Structure 1
Amino acid sequence: MPEFPNIIHFAIPFFVISMLLELYVTTREAYKETKGYELKDAFASIAMGLGNVFLGFFSKAIVLLAFFWIYENYRLFTIPVTWWSFILIFFADDFSYYWFHRVSHESRLFWASHVVHHSSEHYNLSTALRQTWSGGFYSFIFWLWMPLIGFHPGMILLQMSISLLYQFWIHTEAINKLPKWFEVVMNTPSHHRVHHGSNPIYLDRNHAGILIIWDKLFGTFQPELEEEKVTYGLVKNINTFNPIKIAFIEWINMFKDAFSGKKSLKNRILYLLKPPGWTHDGTGKLSDDLRKEWLKSNPIDKNY
């Protein structure tokens, strides 16, 4: 078995230094209008990150077992660990991440864990550390096709870590727009600010990991608009810095909606599968509904 380093653990000093540098930059005059850092919020994000690392010792064991079980027993081909296979796995992993991320916004069962990452009303490098405590135990299903076609499990986990590491630096307001050629292809701070916006026009857009091309291919791309400053957080913010509540409040709300009151079995299941905002009586509003309402009164140039 080839051995690959856990680059996330090695990157922790880089995370700390980067946050200190960002803190210095965003306290300068040009960034005084941004929310920047709030001590309680940053500590809550860091606590969520530490919890994610600790629980990762258990969730990654499950992931490895699942990947190896498929790889050893059912793989269709054997893809060698060589230079060209790392190019293939880069695109395969990024494609998988896009669909995992998109479904995490379109299915409440996955949103219940992913909502953690969107729960901060601030946008800085500490927000990147605000990670789920539960998602690692089941979100890996979007990558199961990769050991099936012959990618080695060690390679898959390495590329997943590279993707996560890339996404750290895009959680900042200290970088405005990068060169146009880079913005066209890659995920950037500008693109990802949109993803964290609770503005109706920004909801459920820009699900990219490293490459923004998937959003453009599948119709979920939205550029950051100069006339529409991003408001970070959720449509309905949870207003807490308690890590336990941040980790599990949406799970509690989801199960309450699904299993309380008089509902058919079908509707109870749909509360788990349908997007956030869905209700069985039709009174809820989905992100697409909010976006359409916003566009009626705020027409924008669609030739972006």
Structure 2
Amino acid sequence: MTLIDMMQNVLESSGLLPLWHLIAPWLALDERQLIFVFATPVFIAVAFWEYLRIRHDPRLMDTREAIRNFALGAGYQVTELLFAGIIAFPLYAFCYHHRLFDLELNAFTAFGTFLGVDFCFYWMHRASHRMRWFWAAHVVHHSSERMNFSTAMRQNATNIFNGMWIFYLPLALIGFNPVWIGVAYAFSLVYQFFIHTTLVGRLPGWLEQVFNTPSHHRVHHGRNPGYIDRNYGGTLILWDRLFGTFVDEDAQDPPRYGITRPVRSNNLIVLWTHEYVDLFRDMARPGGLWSRLKHLWKPPEWERPASMDENSPHERTHSEY
């Protein structure tokens, strides 16, 4: 019996599988999606434990925001469950059909899948900060001014439509089974949930050298000038060290969380869409088609000059976005 068979048996005995078939009869739950379904109660339990520890400190916890974060996460999971199979899967199937190598699942290829997914996550995450189209979806995750486990659930329901999953397609083309890719990705996100906290300090040195830790990820969520666009790693921090994006947490400069242009709204739709609105508003400004399209792949802080002179672009500093 496979992992997905066991998970589906549990869902069926609990009465949840018929409900799923009622909601989305054209889709079958895959391993990646089932991992998220079963991990969510664990996330809620751990977040509640943390809540009891920090609920009296408004700098660390706001009850209404924590509930809102889980609502944002629920929206993300619903769109992933409903649309991943009909948007992303056909392209993964196409790449895997034309794969370069036939790879059997063994200890070596399992480790290769983990390493490949983590490498692709680094570049996907880096692009999510440095290309505005991807930032439009990712920004909601960074817009909270608190760092706790509920922040990990603060995701955008538009992610599946935004296309960040394309960064993993080369793995299927190489010959890694899309199911393996999905499972490795799911476990990576489960791991990353547990690094969204202020309750865990620095870990032993070798762990801090190799793995993404709460200390490293607090830096990533900081809006301090020296922390912006750093520590993109998923499970491993090795890629940041290799590609020059690593910064250590400085006790003299503790992270200040959030984005430098805060969103003054608690409306879920606004939180999901505000950066898209700003992006398309900027693209609608007069100018040539090419100059307008540049907003899609330029960094979030990039602006076209008022004179529309593309040969002398003006760029905002990080502190201005």
TM-score by length of 1: 0.89
C-alpha distance in structure 2 between counterparts of 1:191 and 1:115, whole Å: 19
User: Residue 216 of structure 2 corresponds to which residue in structure 1?
Assistant: 191
C-alpha distance in structure 1 between counterparts of 2:209 and 2:172, whole Å: 30
Give the alignment partner of residue 9 of structure 1, picking from 37, 40, 44. Answer: 37
Q: Does 1:225 align with 2:253?
A: no
Residues 111-126 of structure 1 correspond to what in structure 2 (within 5 A)?
111-126=135-150
C-alpha distance in structure 2 between counterparts of 1:247 and 1:81, whole Å: 38
Q: In the TM superposition, what is the alpha-carbon distance from 1:161 to its structure 2 partner?
A: 0.2
SS of equivalent residue, structure 1 residue 167? helix
C-alpha distance in structure 2 between counterparts of 1:27 and 1:9, whole Å: 26
Give the alignment partner of residue 132 of structure 1, picking from 152, 156, 161. Answer: 156
C-alpha distance in structure 1 between counterparts of 2:270 and 2:55, whole Å: 30
Larger RCO, structures 1/2 (Cα 8 Å, 6+ apart)? 1
Give the alignment partner of residue 265 of structure 1, picking from 256, 274, 289. Answer: 289
The alignment of Structure 1 onto Structure 2 pairs a total of residues equal to 282
Q: In the TM superposition, what is the alpha-carbon distance from 1:266 to its structure 2 partner?
A: 2.1
C-alpha distance in structure 2 between counterparts of 1:41 and 1:263, whole Å: 40
C-alpha distance in structure 1 between counterparts of 2:92 and 2:173, whole Å: 8
Which consecutive residues of structure 2, in runs of 5 or more, have no partner in the other structure? 5-30, 306-312
User: Residue 120 of structure 2 corresponds to which residue in structure 1?
Assistant: 96
- AA of the residue aligned to 1:64: F
Give the alignment partner of residue 62 of structure 2, picking from 34, 38, 41. Answer: 38
Whether the 8 Å CA contact 2:60–2:147 is kept in 1: the answer is yes
Q: 1:157 to 1:41 in 2, by over 3 A?
A: same
Q: In the TM superposition, what is the alpha-carbon distance from 1:216 to its structure 2 partner?
A: 0.5
Q: In the TM superposition, what is the alpha-carbon distance from 1:283 to its structure 2 partner?
A: 4.5
Q: In the TM superposition, what is the alpha-carbon distance from 1:41 to its structure 2 partner?
A: 1.3
User: Residue 299 of structure 1 corresponds to which residue in structure 2?
Assistant: none
SS of equivalent residue, structure 1 residue 215? helix
Whether the 8 Å CA contact 2:92–2:169 is kept in 1: the answer is yes
Give the alignment partner of residue 26 of structure 1, picking from 54, 64, 67. Answer: 54
C-alpha distance in structure 1 between counterparts of 2:274 and 2:238, whole Å: 33
Q: In the TM superposition, what is the alpha-carbon distance from 1:206 to its structure 2 partner?
A: 0.3
- AA of the residue aligned to 2:316: K
SS of equivalent residue, structure 1 residue 226? coil
Q: In the TM superposition, what is the alpha-carbon distance from 1:24 to its structure 2 partner?
A: 2.0
Q: In the TM superposition, what is the alpha-carbon distance from 1:27 to its structure 2 partner?
A: 4.4
Report runs of 4+ in structure 1 exceeding 3 Å deviation: 2-5
Q: In the TM superposition, what is the alpha-carbon distance from 1:244 to its structure 2 partner?
A: 0.5
Q: In the TM superposition, what is the alpha-carbon distance from 1:54 to its structure 2 partner?
A: 0.6
Q: In the TM superposition, what is the alpha-carbon distance from 1:136 to its structure 2 partner?
A: 2.0
C-alpha distance in structure 2 between counterparts of 1:172 and 1:134, whole Å: 25
Q: Does 1:159 align with 2:187?
A: no
User: Residue 175 of structure 1 corresponds to which residue in structure 2?
Assistant: 200
C-alpha distance in structure 1 between counterparts of 2:200 and 2:240, whole Å: 21
- AA of the residue aligned to 2:291: N
Give the alignment partner of residue 254 of structure 1, picking from 279, 292, 302. Answer: 279
C-alpha distance in structure 1 between counterparts of 2:316 and 2:290, whole Å: 19
The one-character-per-residue Cα deviations of 1:187-214 (angstroms, maximum 9, x if unpaired) are 0001000100111110000000000000
C-alpha distance in structure 1 between counterparts of 2:108 and 2:207, whole Å: 23
Q: In the TM superposition, what is the alpha-carbon distance from 1:242 to its structure 2 partner?
A: 1.0
Q: In the TM superposition, what is the alpha-carbon distance from 1:3 to its structure 2 partner?
A: 6.0
SS of equivalent residue, structure 1 residue 194? helix
Q: 1:189 to 1:153 in 2, by over 3 A?
A: same
Give the alignment partner of residue 81 of structure 2, picking from 57, 70, 91. Answer: 57
The one-character-per-residue Cα deviations of 1:114-162 (angstroms, maximum 9, x if unpaired) are 1111111111000000011112231111001011011111111111101
C-alpha distance in structure 1 between counterparts of 2:45 and 2:159, whole Å: 27
Cα RMSD of the aligned pairs, angstroms, is 1.6
User: Residue 82 of structure 1 corresponds to which residue in structure 2?
Assistant: 106
TM-score by length of 2: 0.84
User: Residue 316 of structure 2 corresponds to which residue in structure 1?
Assistant: 285
